[in-house]
Amino acid sequence: MKKSNENTSLKYLELAKEKEEIGEYKEALEYYEKSIEEDPDNIEAYFGLNLINSYIEMEKELKNDDASDNINKHIEFFNIFNEFLNKK
């Protein structure tokens, strides 16, 4: 892997995290995908991509679910993993 590709991948990864923090999940997905294109070995980008996809999927499911305690559980789950990502 070329060093320039790794650097570009890390830049995309940081942009993805920034978009994720402000709730722009579709844009975050795009940056995670670009990060992976530049460095297919970037495990953190795969993790972030899957986390956002899971969050979006949960959000869709919750729109059809009236149970507020389920919403709180999903939000708590997302926040825990978001904290994990931000520690890296």
Q: In this predicted model, what pLDDT tens digit does every residue of 39-79 receive, in sequence order?
A: 999 999 999 999 999 888 887 777 766 556 666 777 887 78
What Rg value do the Cα atoms of the chain yield, rounded? Answer: 14
> Of the candidates 48, 50, 55, which has an alpha carbon nearest to the alpha carbon of residue 77?
55
Query: Is residue 24 pLDDT above 70, yes or no?
Result: yes
Evaluate if residue 88 carries a pLDDT over 70. Answer: no
32 or 79: which carries more pLDDT confidence?
A: 32
Residue 34's pLDDT is 97
Domains annotated for the chain, with CATH where assigned, are: 3-86 (1.25.40)
User: What does pTM read for this prediction?
Assistant: 0.69
Whether 1 shows a pLDDT value over 60: the answer reads no
**Residue that wins the pLDDT comparison between 81 and 45:** 45
**C-alpha to C-alpha distance for 67 and 47, rounded to whole angstroms:** 28
